[in-house]
Structure 1
Amino acid sequence: MTDTGTAAPTISPALLYDDAQAAIRQLTEAFGFTRSALYESEDGVVLHAELVYGNGMIMLGSRGRDGVFDQAMAQAGPAAVYVVVEDTDAHHARAVEHGAEILMPPTDQEYGSRDYMARDVGGNIWSFGTYAPKGPEITA
């Protein structure tokens, strides 16, 4: 993706994983995210990590740490996240090369996007495609 600057995103999905280290590996290797922050306990438990893709970011950590967020998420199901990519087919090929579970191959959508869908090691659903929703209009 083209670098669009360093402005912090105003919305960042936060996900918890049973094996956050495996999630970070998959998200960076198979899906092309870049790790921008990683905070671990002395025994290697991921307390907080930030991964970026383009001008978007996700935050993630390890399940079972017994904090307020962990308790609130205890009964939550998997999340679904959509990520805009420049080349759906190339992105899909990278994911396949790294063993990602593909739920839908690259498919042309009626609304003009080309998307594919995958499941990560935590059961979350990731859609990658060319559809770029228009953000809110910014007025000065």
Structure 2
Amino acid sequence: MAGTDGARPTIVPTLLYADAKAAIRQLTEAFGFRDLAVYEGEDGAVTHAELAQGNGMVMLGSKGRGGAFDTAMKGAGPAAAYIVVDDVDAHHRRAVEHGAEILMPPTDQDYGSRDYMARDLEGNIWSFGTYAPEIKG
């Protein structure tokens, strides 16, 4: 898997879901994320979860739990994230096998990447591809 050197990511997208448990299931089963941590409140809602893909990660939780982040995200639209994967076609096949909504099949891009795009159960857009930008400087 691309970038599994153990470095801590310095940018971590954070999402809230009406059904965070379903989101975790889809992200792990269809998109191959690894479940690192899932914390639930007494009511069974996900208060915090961490999922990894390569050397990157996303954090997520349940909508409607209150607090500053939940309040700030109220009414926010879907988000989008780009995830680097080694084998786009195999990754795409897995997503299709698990019923993910595919918005763009694996496509070779002019800038040298091979990408595909999918929508999760709550409208967030996930792009998976081979392009791995590098921070120089």
Q: TM-score range by the shorter chain?
A: over 0.9
Post-superposition Cα deviations, 1:53-84, rounded to whole Å, max 9, x if no partner, equal: 11001000000112110010002111000000
Runs of 4+ in 1 over 6 A off after TM superposition: none
Aligned to 1:119: 119
Q: 1:30 to 1:104 in 2, by over 3 A?
A: same
* Cα separation, 2, equivalents of 1:15 and 1:28: 15
Match of 2:76 in 1: 76
How far apart, in 1, do the equivalents of 2:71 and 2:114 lie? Answer: 37
Contact 2:83 2:126 in 1 (8 A): yes
Structure 2 stretches lacking a partner, 5+ long? none
Name 2:103's counterpart in structure 1: 103
Q: Distance in 2 between matches of 1:120 and 1:12?
A: 18
CA RMSD of aligned residues (A): 1.0
Q: What's the TM-score, normalizing by structure 1? A: 0.94
Shift of 1:3: 5.8
Compute the TM-score of the two structures, normalised by the length of structure 2: 0.96
Does the aligned pair in 1 maintain the 2:2–2:84 contact within 8 Å? Answer: no
Tell whether the 8 Å contact from 2:2 to 2:85 is kept in structure 1 after alignment.
no
Q: Could you tell me how far 1:122 is from its partner in structure 2? A: 1.5
1:62-118, Cα deviation, whole Å (9 max, x unpaired)? 001121100100021110000000010000000000000000000111111110000
Residue 15 (str. 1) matches residue 18 (str. 2) = no
Secondary structure of 1:126's counterpart equals strand
Tell me the matched-pair count: 137
- Unaligned 5+ residue runs, structure 1? none
Cα shift at 1:5: 2.4
Shift of 1:2: 4.6
